[in-house]
Homo-oligomer: A and B are copies of this chain.
Amino acid sequence: MITLEQINEIALKTSSRIVFLVIDGLGGLPRPETGKTELETAYTPNLDQLAGDGICGLIELVGRGITPGSGPGHLAIFGYDPLRFSIGRGVLEALGIDLELDEGDVAARGNFCTIDDSGLITDRRAGRITTERNAELSSLLNTISIENARLLVTPVREHRFVVVFRGEGLSDNLTDTDPQKEGVAPKPALALSPQAERTAKIANRFADRARELLRGHHPANMILLRGFSRYPNLPTMSEVYKLRPAAIATYPMYRGIARLLGMENLKTGSSIEDEFITLKEHFKEYDFFFLHIKQTDSAGEDGDFEKKARIIEEVDALIPHLRGLDPDVIVVTGDHSTPAVLKGHSWHPVPFLLYSRWCRPDGVREFSERACLSGSLGTFPGVEVMPLAMANALKLNKFGA
């Protein structure tokens, strides 16, 4: 497979524009009553037209049978091999609450938990305390100070929080304190390399101090930490592709991923229509747009088949506005499937369409899982989406003489 370095050598800065419309969790499964997926059930004349004018296929984000998390799914779409690049658990959690991380920061995902008198874990989630209680206890943890490192504890939901360790020379090469089971004691963080010894000491000191501070706060009388990770140093999309990219996303995690790849996050409203308006307002300022639709995934996760289909229809109705801007390349796809019948992310390939003036039409006249099967792109790796889009925008020189 061609590498980002090789792509970079042939990438051209041009005035053409690319729009990626990423409908989160787009792919689905048929509901038994009708034998049709969410996308097949939705009335989508505009997406069907776009499919007819473009080329279709299905994408595998990580690999056949592998269900992508949001990080790997998006990395793949933007051309970053998710088996080579990864975003750690702690960092992804931090991105998910819009925390600004610095380059040397190490972030970890934290849980409040319950321990008994002998220090053994009786509930890894502290009875799912309320988010309000979490906020109070997180403030308490924020009073902890450890020499030479700043600690920032930020509550998430229920029993979850993020802790960021900030300072010189920190490493993320250490083990979790969360044993992932009950009936045992929290483990100490262990350094996996000499460079990580100081960070492990800081993490363990933090856990010890937390135990003291939380002693009277049963059921949240201890913490567990996992997924220590540094802000990954990914080459930006402007470094790799020579693009000036912008993101339009309403959820923090996707804005975080966009920032990680060097996209500018545009201010937008909370509705899908707002996002399309934002696209229009800034269309002249950038040459690559990532427009993220979250609500399809949420409906899928909730098992709400009808709602997911309805949101797809809402997106479909906005397609004429997108086409009206006349981008050189339009890609419509998702970062993974979220079939309502499975109530979660799944491994099923995701419908994909690309429209440009330079694509070789393949006779597919409907945008659906089934119709895309007979598209000219077949079922192909998600990391090939970017080279394909760049080619269709005439932003790639030929490879080799």
Interface residues of A (CB under 8 A from B): 1-2, 6, 10, 29-30, 35, 37, 58, 62-72, 82-83, 86-87, 89, 92-93, 227, 342, 344-349, 358, 360-363, 369-370, 373-374, 376-380, 384, 386-392, 396-401
Give CA–CA (A401, B69) in the complex, Å.
Answer: 5
Q: Answer whether A370 and B378 are a contact pair too, CB < 8 Å, given A64-B384, A396-B67.
A: no
Contact across chains for B29 and A63 when beta carbons are under 8 A apart: no
**A377: B residues at CB distance < 8 A:** 64, 379
Contact across chains for B380 and A64 when beta carbons are under 8 A apart: yes
4 tightest A-B CB contacts, nearest first: A65-B387, A69-B400, A65-B391, A65-B388
Q: Answer whether A398 and B68 are a contact pair too, CB < 8 Å, given A358-B29, A360-B29, A369-B360.
A: yes
What are 21 sample pairs from A and B whose C-beta atoms fall under 8 A apart? A2-B62, A2-B63, A2-B83, A6-B83, A63-B387, A64-B388, A65-B384, A65-B391, A65-B392, A66-B396, A69-B398, A69-B400, A70-B400, A87-B400, A87-B401, A93-B401, A342-B358, A344-B398, A348-B360, A376-B379, A378-B378
Nearest to A369 among chain B residues (CB) is B360
Closest CB in chain B relative to A65 CB, distance in Å = 3
Give CA–CA (A70, B82) in the complex, Å.
Answer: 31
Contact across chains for B391 and A347 when beta carbons are under 8 A apart: yes
Closest CB in chain B relative to A399 CB, distance in Å = 5
**A400: B residues at CB distance < 8 A:** 62, 68-72, 82, 86-87
Determine chain A's interface SS by DSSP, over half rule: loop
Contact across chains for B399 and A62 when beta carbons are under 8 A apart: yes
Closest CB in chain B relative to A193 CB, distance in Å = 19
Q: Answer whether A401 and B29 are a contact pair too, CB < 8 Å, given A63-B1, A83-B6, A360-B348.
A: no
Contact across chains for A67 and B399 when beta carbons are under 8 A apart: yes
Give CA–CA (A277, B227) in the complex, Å.
Answer: 48
Contact across chains for B378 and A347 when beta carbons are under 8 A apart: no
**A89: B residues at CB distance < 8 A:** 401
Closest CB in chain B relative to A99 CB, distance in Å = 15
Give CA–CA (A68, B2) in the complex, Å.
Answer: 12
> Among A64, A376, A377, which residue has the most Cβ atoms of chain B within 10 A?
A64
Q: Answer whether A65 and B342 are a contact pair too, CB < 8 Å, given A360-B29, A360-B30, A379-B378.
A: no
Nearest to A27 among chain B residues (CB) is B360
Contact across chains for A70 and B401 when beta carbons are under 8 A apart: yes
**A58: B residues at CB distance < 8 A:** 376
Contact across chains for A2 and B358 when beta carbons are under 8 A apart: no
Closest CB in chain B relative to A144 CB, distance in Å = 26
Closest CB in chain B relative to A168 CB, distance in Å = 27
